[in-house]
Structure 1
Amino acid sequence: MRFKTDLKNVKTFSKLTAALSSLEKVAWMRLDDDTVRFTVIPDQGSQVWASLSMDHIFDSYQLQSAEPHNTINLELPLGPLHRALKSADDKNCTSASLRLTKKNNVPLLSMTITTTTTSSSGPAYSRFAGRGGGSGLARDNLGGAGPFDDDDGEFPVEPLETDLNREREKIITQDIPVRVLHPEHVETIMQPKVREPDVHIQLPPLLSLKAISDRFTKLAVAARTGSSSSAAAGANASSAAASSYSPKLEISANMHGSLRLALTADSLDVASQWDGLENPELDPGQLNCPLEDHPSTRFREGGPGRWATVRVDGRDWSRVLSVGRLEGRVIACFADEHALILYVYVPQYDDVSAEDSVVTYYVSSYSM
């Protein structure tokens, strides 16, 4: 089993691991000849299935195993991987590589980072003196003519460059412990199956959506804290209730370009709406039914008042929206009262002709 590669698009790789680590501490990484996949399945909350071409984040990679398509399955901690990538995402970093190795019979992903720093040395020597100077190179100690005297005893005066910029190379190695997974165990990891979506819509920038979602969540927590304070016997009970409480946000969309985020609680009823969004056209060749029979067609024909709705945990939803740091377009597919699937398209900036990689989030809906 062998895996060795140089890293490219380190910034994108770092942002992806940051988004994944907000949901869970551990991920499954699957490598094969063409694709690298990251899967995060927490005990509770949203699942992530990310699929990127090997060329998106790796360069000059070598991959070899006894499995078909040279498949290697690894379980890895996201925190140490993200910290190592942050070290590689530095303006002084000239190269970074990753390889699967073993120390003391423990499998490791070893990241080697090469950085350069420039140091400047201060002046070490005075400049040559001109006429009347004290260096006396034109005459000997006895006042006679020196071996380099010319007729007038003068020499051309030039500065001695002593402020030398020296580049120094530093190599940093960070070892990330991993587990090599058996293929039979991996086969039990299955993506959730969701029915055809009722509404599909391109979301506004996720970071702005996250800001409003977080605001709604804080309002709900503050309102609950206030009501708990009046009823609770002490501040500790109120604080514990607030820390464990996460409100349910209601997200709705229609097939006429509108998205709505709402929060309804005992003392709160707030909502925010976006209009003029895009409902992308479906490819009939990828559908399991004729386009006219697709659920989204019925929702479109139902007019702007026909909404598909899901209810999500406020804090989990905030962690999902952290994937907005990848700055790709996001298509949300609503299965009414059942689930929300987000397709995050990660652009490959160094090759505009290449297909975008996709990070898929599965968010289950809470019942009323």
Structure 2
Amino acid sequence: MRFRATVENVQTFHRVVSSLEKMSKRCMIKLNETTMRIICLPGDSGVQLWSSIRIEHIFTDYRIQSNNNNEITFEISSEPLLAALKSALSSPEVVLKLTKKNDHATWSFEIAISSTSGSRMNIVHDVRVAVQRPADVARMKEPLCPEPDVHVVLPPLKALRTVLERKAKLSDVVAIRCNKRGCLKLAIETEVVGVETTWDGCTHPNMDDNEHGSQSQKPADMQDDQDPEAFASVLLPVKALIRFMNCHVVSTTTIADAVKDSDNDRVITVNCQPSTSASASFLPTTMSVSSSTTWTAPFPPYDPTDTASFSYETVLKRWPVIITNLIDRIYRTNHDLLSSEPASAAKAADSSADAEDGEDDDEDDDEDEVLSEEEIKAKVEEGKGIIATASKLKYEMARDRPLEPIPDDGQSLAKEYNAALDALVADGRNTWFTAPWLFAECYLYRLFRSWFAQTKYWSTFDPFWDQKVDSFRSSGTAVHKLADTMHDLELELDVLAKDEEKTAVLFAEMLQVCLWGNATDLSLLTNLTHDEIQALQLRTSDPARDTFILRDDTARAWDAIKSVKDGRVDIVLDNSGFELFTDLVFADFLIRFTGGRVRKVVFHPKNMPWFVSDVTPRDFAWTLDILASEAAQPGSFFSGTSDAATSAHLGALVARWKSYVDSGAFELCTHSFWIGHLPYFYMPNELKGYIGEAALVVFKGDLNYRKLTGDVRWPVTTPFEEAIGPLKGAFPILSLRTNKADVVVGISEEDAKRAEAEDARWRVSGRYAVVSFAGTS
């Protein structure tokens, strides 16, 4: 790939980067033949920025070349980029090149300067970048937002910021309200004070032709039926909004787009349109949803105060093992760092992160970071600090000490967790053996994340990576068997297009594969051997498996799909490895083998390492890459071998999946709600509205089931539709769950007694399962 340009408008480029540097420390720059896009993904502020600048407004003598349609995308740190541009402000000529120095990709600024004697010389300012693979870039999606009800031109952002900074001293949350009459209000309301600032006469622009407005258009018959006096309202974190206000250094016109949902506040985007560029910022709304927060389950949550419960066993035995494994992983990484030469040690330490990114060793891989000897020592010391913190937690957990607040680590939901913890303190349930199980378990993994997020060298480290890789490595037999099955289905493709009954039968089979893939949960299988895990995975071939399904709504799920044309199915993912493979198989079946009923599958992973084995976006990308590598070189990853035909079947299957990713038929969508502690009763409206567009939403695994039902002590005969509370009727829900926690609903007393007689641990052993469906009517 090649890039070279003259920076003609250094002043504007500097102002743009100056504004985004205050919002995010790192950003993506996406260059093509006509446009430069600067993208700030949600980080510590939660604000997303998607800006677009025409090349001719910044560059001249512009040349770009790559194998990806002359498009280059890289991640860059905004602080050194701003420093380079600042040093170039008074230069008569600045040439910018993409180069490779010391095995690292750099954006190299050649800056011409004049000496006091009048002679001219060039200085070079290099900014390291991380070139992104096309497949990873394709997964970056600008947020999908509903059509706004109100557009309003904001007052000068500098003035707005002054007002907000005063309000920030009173509350963490601000309400923005506006209507079509041009009335804008900023309000805070607490238990002791309420303050509202109003601007009248703001312009309500026509956004129909604005390419940087919302991403959909209202039908003509919906344009004028709204009350101009009605206010659309959203709740926003004050700090996130203040960070956005930093763009006043570049913006000339700023338009806020607000949506009024029938339930409550929904979403806001803010569009900035200076003369040379346009951008859309997506500000995070708060997660309070009034229609749901007033609903309370009629039974208490499970907690470890019941010493006969699985939650007690979890705190007593399972969590200490998980913490010990985490300590061991850090210790081994430190050992590798210190036992080799600096360059090779650094590469060894970074190998898990590279694998997590799904990186290949091709010529475009510029992300391997070689640490100096001093940096290695600093990283080792940080690792020792994490080990000490983890050891302290393990000690305190065994002695039922109080849960400590999540530190302000710049990651998602720290305040929400701490607010819930404050409520538990007031209730006297804030220790490890008294806190509600669902809260404490989610809190634990969010606490793990804070340990790494606060470091310099471990901030992107996945402490569970080795476990996920090792577990998947032992799954070769099951993977190859399913690859052969999918190949055989190709022979039935024409028949399936005409035979709905046969398609329904195969839908049930594929759903079974997807269900029992959930048997691999590393946070639970802490002591099983590879052979035992493989036996669980191969349960899909057991004809007697149906006797272990205590509730089976497969037919109702098919009814939700069979009448759909070109529909969308969402899958809220659970475990990586073999279970993710079965999810991909199921998604492939839906798109390719159901006669055009499904055209798109949206996968919802976690945005941080979670519950040991839950899928992250990096896990997803790595899985596709390692499967492709295994197909090309049998035995390179999976233990054991496969014949040439099976490897070819796997290769064809993965190639199809990658084509789905490239075309958008497979899509990833992350949301911080999935790594929160709240039951799904309290799903925020913007997320509920988005997944509600799907013909079917599949919730995989035990944790999703616990959150759907609130993890409370429902009687087993409670209807599933009742146990999901306010989600009843919101959208078609299918829960695929092998039982690994105490809560179970929707089954008969007779089936519960039978399971109890067969296995005293039937609620938690993973031997039994439920397939639960709730429709919209």
* TM-score above 0.5: yes
1:181 aligns with 2:182: no
Who is 1:112 aligned against? 110
AA aligned opposite 2:36:
V
Who is 2:272 aligned against? 344
- Residue 330 (structure 1) shift: 1.1
1:359 aligns with 2:357: no
**Secondary structure at 1:212 match in 2:** helix
**Secondary structure at 2:241 match in 1:** helix
Q: Distance in 1 between matches of 2:228 and 2:51?
A: 34
Who is 1:227 aligned against? none
Who is 2:7 aligned against? 7
CA contact (8 A) 1:309 1:334 kept: yes
Who is 2:150 aligned against? 199
Change in 2 beyond 3 A, CA 1:55/1:263: same
Who is 1:58 aligned against? 59
Who is 1:210 aligned against? 161
CA contact (8 A) 1:284 1:290 kept: no
Change in 2 beyond 3 A, CA 1:307/1:290: same
Paired residue for 2:219, among 264, 286, 290? 290
Q: Distance in 1 between matches of 2:244 and 2:232?
A: 20
- Residue 21 (structure 1) shift: 1.9
1:82 aligns with 2:82: yes
1:260 aligns with 2:185: yes
Q: Distance in 1 between matches of 2:258 and 2:218?
A: 18
Who is 1:249 aligned against? 174
**Secondary structure at 1:204 match in 2:** coil
Change in 2 beyond 3 A, CA 1:117/1:211: farther
Identical-residue share of aligned pairs (%): 29
**Secondary structure at 2:217 match in 1:** coil
AA aligned opposite 2:249:
R
Q: Distance in 2 between matches of 1:62 and 1:268?
A: 58
**Secondary structure at 1:214 match in 2:** helix
**Secondary structure at 1:207 match in 2:** helix
Task: Work out which of the two has the higher radius of gyration on C-alpha atoms and give 1 or 2.
Answer: 1
**Secondary structure at 1:208 match in 2:** helix
Who is 2:94 aligned against? 96
Q: Distance in 1 between matches of 2:111 and 2:13?
A: 15
- Residue 249 (structure 1) shift: 0.8
Q: Distance in 2 between matches of 1:282 and 1:30?
A: 26
The more displaced of 325-334 and 18-27 is 18-27
**Secondary structure at 1:215 match in 2:** helix
Q: Distance in 1 between matches of 2:112 and 2:209?
A: 49
AA aligned opposite 1:324:
H
Paired residue for 2:231, among 301, 307, 311? 307
AA aligned opposite 1:247:
D
The more displaced of 36-45 and 253-262 is 36-45
Q: Distance in 2 between matches of 1:11 and 1:178?
A: 22
CA contact (8 A) 2:237 2:284 kept: no
- Describe the superposition over 1:259-314 as per-residue Cα deviations: whole angstroms up to 9, x where unpaired: 111122233321211111111124389863433413xx343xx243x111111111
Q: Distance in 1 between matches of 2:110 and 2:217?
A: 47
CA contact (8 A) 2:50 2:279 kept: yes
Q: Distance in 2 between matches of 1:73 and 1:298?
A: 43
**Secondary structure at 2:62 match in 1:** strand
> What's the TM-score once normalised by structure 2's chain length?
0.35
Q: Distance in 2 between matches of 1:176 and 1:112?
A: 11
CA RMSD of aligned residues (A): 1.9
Q: Distance in 2 between matches of 1:364 and 1:285?
A: 23
Gaps in structure 2 of 5+ consecutive residues: 290-777
CA contact (8 A) 1:65 1:71 kept: yes
Q: Distance in 1 between matches of 2:34 and 2:210?
A: 24
**Secondary structure at 2:92 match in 1:** strand
- Residue 328 (structure 1) shift: 1.8
CA contact (8 A) 1:258 1:276 kept: yes
- Describe the superposition over 1:205-264 as per-residue Cα deviations: whole angstroms up to 9, x where unpaired: 11111111112113x1xxxxxxxxxxxxxxxxxxxxxxxxx6101111100011111122
- Residue 8 (structure 1) shift: 2.1
> What's the TM-score once normalised by structure 1's chain length?
0.72
Q: Distance in 2 between matches of 1:324 and 1:282?
A: 21
Q: Distance in 2 between matches of 1:96 and 1:329?
A: 29
CA contact (8 A) 1:23 1:42 kept: no
CA contact (8 A) 1:19 1:319 kept: no
Q: Distance in 2 between matches of 1:284 and 1:345?
A: 14
Structure 1 or 2: more helix by fraction = 2
AA aligned opposite 2:150:
V
AA aligned opposite 1:65:
S
CA contact (8 A) 2:151 2:207 kept: no
**Secondary structure at 1:340 match in 2:** strand
- The structure, 1 or 2, with the larger RCO (C-alpha pairs under 8 Å, 6+ apart) is 1
CA contact (8 A) 1:74 1:178 kept: yes
AA aligned opposite 1:275:
D
Change in 2 beyond 3 A, CA 1:115/1:284: closer
- Residue 50 (structure 1) shift: 0.8
- Describe the superposition over 1:128-174 as per-residue Cα deviations: whole angstroms up to 9, x where unpaired: xxxxxxxxxxxxxxxxxxxxxxxxxxxxxxxxxxxxxx423342211
Aligned positions of 1:16-55 closer than 5 A: 16-44=16-44, 45-55=46-56
Q: Distance in 1 between matches of 2:52 and 2:36?
A: 6
Q: Distance in 1 between matches of 2:139 and 2:228?
A: 42
Who is 2:206 aligned against? 281
CA contact (8 A) 1:338 1:364 kept: no
Change in 2 beyond 3 A, CA 1:285/1:269: closer
Who is 1:320 aligned against? 244
Q: Distance in 1 between matches of 2:75 and 2:101?
A: 17
AA aligned opposite 1:261:
L
